[in-house]
Amino acid sequence: MTKLLATKARNALWLQFFVMGVVSMAWVPRIPEIKTANELSDTQFGLVLIASSIGAVLGAQLSGRAIHRFGSRPVFFVAQVVVPVGVAIMGLSITPLVLVAGLFFMGFGYAALDVAGNAQAVAIENHLKRRYITSVHGMWSVGTLATTLLGAGLAFYISPRDNLLWVAGVGLVVFLVTSRYLLAPDLDNHSGEEDTKSSMPWFGKAAWPLWILGIGATGTFIAEGAAADWAALLLRDEMGVEIGYYASAFATFALAMILSRFLGDSWLERWGPYQVVRFLGVVGGGLWGVLMLSGIWLSSGFPLLGIILVNTGFFFAGIAIGPIFPAFILGAANLKGVAPSVGIARIGVISIGAYFVGPTVVGVLSDQITLTYAMLYPVVFLVLSGYLAKAIKGSSAN
């Protein structure tokens, strides 16, 4: 009976992560229009994104405590409403203040959904005795690709406002229908084993492994956030790519993440999280930087070749990032003496905000050294994630 419930929860979680990708990233292909409508410079746009960072940190922190007390499903019930509300507000924004409010709610709700969803994924793996966490995140990547392609196509026909309102409404309905199939609190091990702690200090020897895991996950979030929020602007402003086509870099990135995340479970089983993260972070990050710079430099004389090289760079970035974050989540959920929900939430507090802080830093740097060189910031952090894979060795996940 438990395996049947876990199988239903896995199927529901696959669909929910798909919808999370669709709803939370629906604004990405419409960013240039939203940025223009709100009359924001690169620096101002980057600073506005701080609202999402603040919301994400608060959402991760509060959801971790709530999951440990009530279970992951009740937290998911609440967060599944907050995200669509935030996206709808973003679609209605015509002033920076309204956009800030939408980004805050979206960041808060998304972080809570992410922590609750990962807690469910770890519990499902334990019940079914198989790896599923990277394929769950793969469904999120499928959602981001679908919403990117949809948004790029709709840009020729409807406004960002109508685009985001429709996505938010449909996403909310799907969330409400499927979330009841998630594992109930008595099956998700939200309190951990008897010898695990319900809270962890922020500093000291006991907290150090979580800090390393969190910083490693932060590198992937900075890279992913920068790719999502700045890829379209990179192609438009640095290479002169036209509307409808400047979404190609993020679409390529999302496609690569889909591929690596559906292959990632088998990679983790075969080589172990440490080897996978170390190789992909260092090699994938390096190729991203080299190909991206080469493509931009060549784009003035060879525009097609430039676009191909930049998209190839974003492809390798997506391949690299795909399994890395799930691997760090596994590491945090399998630390001795730490409840899974507490470990996952701590990783969330440290890293999820970076998903939005990364693009903010890119925006500030862009006005100083151009967007081309500002994008080396996420490249460096992806390589750092590969180096910090050694922290996963300290958990039973490896």
pLDDT on residue 283: 92
More confident residue, 160 or 323: 323
Considering only the C-alpha atoms of the chain, give the largest distance between any 2 of them, rounded to a whole number of Å.
Answer: 65
Q: Are 215 and 388 in contact (CB under 8 A)?
A: yes
Number of domains in the chain: 1
Task: Name every residue whose Cβ is closer than 8 Å to that of residue 69 and which is 6 or more positions away in sequence.
Answer: none
pLDDT on residue 201: 59
Residue 97, both tokens = 């203040």
Report which DSSP code applies to 398. -
Question: Which domain range does residue 346 map to?
Answer: 2-394
3-class secondary structure, 109: helix
Q: pLDDT-derived band of residue 30, with 50, 70 and 90 as boundaries?
A: confident
pLDDT on residue 345: 75
Residue 188, both tokens = 């998700």
Q: Are 251 and 152 in contact (CB under 8 A)?
A: yes
Segment 365-391 mean pLDDT: 86
| CA distances in angstroms from 50 to 138, 161, 234, 364, listed in the order given | 26, 22, 20, 12
pLDDT of 312 above 60: yes
Model's pTM, two decimal places?
0.74
Q: Domain of 313: which CATH number?
A: 1.20.1250.20
pLDDT of 184 above 60: yes
Segment 308-314 mean pLDDT: 87
Place of tokens 């590198």: 219
Most confident of 26-40, 110-124, 327-341: 110-124
More confident residue, 340 or 378: 378
- Least confident interval from 37-41, 54-58, 165-169, 171-175: 37-41
Segment 260-282 mean pLDDT: 86
